[in-house]
Structure 1
Amino acid sequence: MGKLTDNEFSKSFLSRMQNRQGQVNHMDISKQEIQRCWQRQIPYLYKDNQRIRKDNRFIRANADGSEDVVELANLERALYSQDIKFKKIRASRPAGEGVLFQQIKK
């Protein structure tokens, strides 16, 4: 996971949206981006090299501060982004104790 910033949109996010940069080696994550997701009850997915090693697995940071390890379930058959489904592998952190949640609270 990259470092959290106070910018409304992170530079890496903007560069990916404008297709100026092919791959981003580090990714700064904007606190406002994550908080807006959580306000709408949308979980925020991210990678953590210490806990996640497989390419198709992610950490799902939920609005209540909990985290789950999830895996892409049907990427080959999904036509639209809203069709992508994730399968919960295991709970990683209980409510209020997620790594991302703790970093945002600081």
Structure 2
Amino acid sequence: MKRKKIALSVLSGAFTIAVLFILYEAISKLMSGQSPSMSWWGIGILVVSLLVNPVLAWGKHRYGKKTDSPSLKYDAIDTMICEYQTIVVLLGTVLAQWQGWWWADPVAALV
């Protein structure tokens, strides 16, 4: 039980740092009106993630049901949350680059 508490504390700390960094970046980009730069590698990773995450989530959920593992079933839900994030980031990037909406990327980060 003590290890689990430590692991959850480390994980929550890491997520808090990530959230604070994303908030800082998004708000500073909105305030400065700075357009984001585009990375083809980043778009490629997002597209791969867009295709792989649903299959991965389905497999985790299926195997979690088969083995009666709540952890795997929750991990499947987490993977679908990652899919949602991928869609939002990809949409923000596409709108910023091809529509010229400089604000779309930081707004997507806040979503």
What's the TM-score once normalised by structure 2's chain length?
0.27
Counting helix residues as a fraction of each chain, which structure ranks higher?
A: 2
**Rg (Cα) greater in structure:** 2
* More strand as a share of residues: 1
